Structure 1
């Protein structure tokens, strides 16, 4: 029986994706957000569920606490992206796409699915 697992990725709102094209000047200026980049790759990898959680307040590491603001998000504002699928798929995804993401905290959590008897 394969187990479901959740991978939660915590990173700053301002984090940008580092791609193989990052050497080109214009690509460095227009790199996609890390959240968008990882969501795109999770979809392409066939990950069953990916959710970018809306954060209202929080901090990462030794940062000060940041609160949601209607007009602009502070560059150190935290993001949480959660991926859920079979353990082997999620760990393979992280092995491939987690390289070079030193500023990202990755937390694996085992999942237990509830079934309604009826």
Structure 2
């Protein structure tokens, strides 16, 4: 398949999902984990959560992850891989909870070798 796209959602660690259950009112789940669950339910082909060692989000100061504790403004990244159409549908469906999210959509172009043609240039 050559129609893959990647949607990267950059989220502050402190971002919380909307409360959808009684227990969520006491302790709402992290937005990143909730988005992974929702991506699975939506049939998104692949979803990954990247923990960032160092970085910053728009308007914030740089921060660094530390084993004893990390600032709430520290970024993390949820990466979704599927078709552009499926990713845009996911964004549209969940736009209400993505107010604290910086989203980047990248189209993937895979160079595929055709049959009968060499994949590497021969020397000489």
TM over 0.5: yes
Question: Which bin holds the TM-score, normalised by the shorter protein?
Answer: 0.7 to 0.9
Name the counterpart of 1:6: 6
Q: How many residues align?
A: 115
- The CA distance in 1 between the partners of 2:99 and 2:29, in whole Å, is 17
Matches within 5 A, 1:14-53: 14-21=14-21, 27-53=24-50
Unaligned 5+ segments in structure 1 are: none
Indicate if the aligned counterparts of 2:2 and 2:109 stay in contact, CA closer than 8 A: no
User: Within the alignment, does 1:71 sit opposite 2:68 as a pair?
Assistant: yes
Compute the displacement of 1:2 (Å).
6.8
RMSD of aligned Cα (Å): 2.1
Unaligned 5+ segments in structure 2 are: 114-118, 120-124
Give the TM-score of the pair, scaled to structure 2: 0.82
User: Within the alignment, does 1:103 sit opposite 2:119 as a pair?
Assistant: no
Compute the displacement of 1:19 (Å).
3.8
- The CA distance in 1 between the partners of 2:18 and 2:41, in whole Å, is 18
